[in-house]
Amino acid sequence: MPSKLRILFRTRWFHSFLYHFIRLYSLTLRIRVENEKGWMDHLRSGGRVVLCTWHQQFFAAIGHFQSYRDFKPALMISKSSDGEIIADVAERSGWHAVRGSSSRGGKEALRKMIDHLSLTGLAGHILDGPRGPVGIVKAGVIELAHAADAVITPFYTSADRAWYFNSWDNFILPKPFAKVLISFGNMIKLLPLEDASAFERQRLELEKTMILELRPKPAGKPSGI
């Protein structure tokens, strides 16, 4: 990427433009939400909730998730240059961005996520981000839920019309005016860890539950971007 473009992408002006563009884009989507009430009631009654999804599917939920801003939720975002842009957009959307990932600054970021979740009650987590492997639940969400005594609530998005990127996870971008479904799974309360193998069993069980909702690129259709 030319150096002038890299400089442009780091400017507050570009971040502001991108935030407003995403907001306008999201307003074109015809969103339907399923099974939100259960975890919202749990949160409002004093419980703690970690919302989690695959990296492939998070874009379609951005517009709706701005409605959670009053809860002051947190989201872990990588320290990469791309992560800097995403973190700024998240902050403008009312989400507290904690910088770090499994490959860089993860332990410190996880500690901050635990502290923030314990205080506010709500956090989001991208299970296989920022760079995969696709469909593999990383350990952080299990650690976060145990440490903050939170339930895990998976969510999934789908669209009747979408572009699928030529990326490691076939990232999904719903087309303008697409019908989008945001579907929340049942709350998952992790049992106390009785031995060292229990942690891995819980991670695999969450992965097994959520892998079914990964969206394959539709056969016979051209790729997106």
Closest C-alpha to 81, from 12, 10, 133, 8: 10
Closest C-alpha to 31, from 63, 58, 56, 55: 63
pLDDT band for position 88 (cuts 50, 70, 90): very high
Output helix, strand, coil percentages for the chain, rounded to the nearest 5: 45, 20, 35
Query: Looking at residue 83, what is its pLDDT?
Result: 86
The stretch 101-128 carries a mean pLDDT of 92
The stretch 24-28 carries a mean pLDDT of 97
How many domains does the chain divide into? Answer: 1
CATH classification at residue 171: 3.40.1130.10
Let me know if residue 111 belongs to a domain: yes
Q: Does residue 154 have a cis bond before it (omega within 30 degrees)?
A: no
pLDDT band for position 223 (cuts 50, 70, 90): low
Let me know if residue 219 belongs to a domain: no
pLDDT digits (tens, 9 = 90+) for 151-193: 999 999 999 999 999 999 999 999 999 999 999 999 999 999 9
Let me know if residue 146 belongs to a domain: yes
Query: Looking at residue 120, what is its pLDDT?
Result: 98
Let me know if residue 200 belongs to a domain: yes
Let me know if residue 62 belongs to a domain: yes
- Residue count of the chain: 225
Q: For residues 92 and 69, what is the distance between their CA atoms, to the nearest angstrom?
A: 10
Instruction: Name the token pair of 203.
Output: 């991670």
Query: Looking at residue 122, what is its pLDDT?
Result: 98
Let me know if residue 222 belongs to a domain: no
Percentage of the chain lying above the pLDDT 70 cut: 94
Domain that holds residue 170: 3-211
Q: Does residue 176 have a cis bond before it (omega within 30 degrees)?
A: no
Q: Is the pLDDT of residue 37 over 80?
A: yes
* Least confident among 26-35, 73-82, 112-121: 73-82
Let me know if residue 16 belongs to a domain: yes
Round the average pLDDT of the chain to a whole number and report it: 93
pLDDT band for position 218 (cuts 50, 70, 90): confident
Let me know if residue 223 belongs to a domain: no
pLDDT band for position 105 (cuts 50, 70, 90): confident
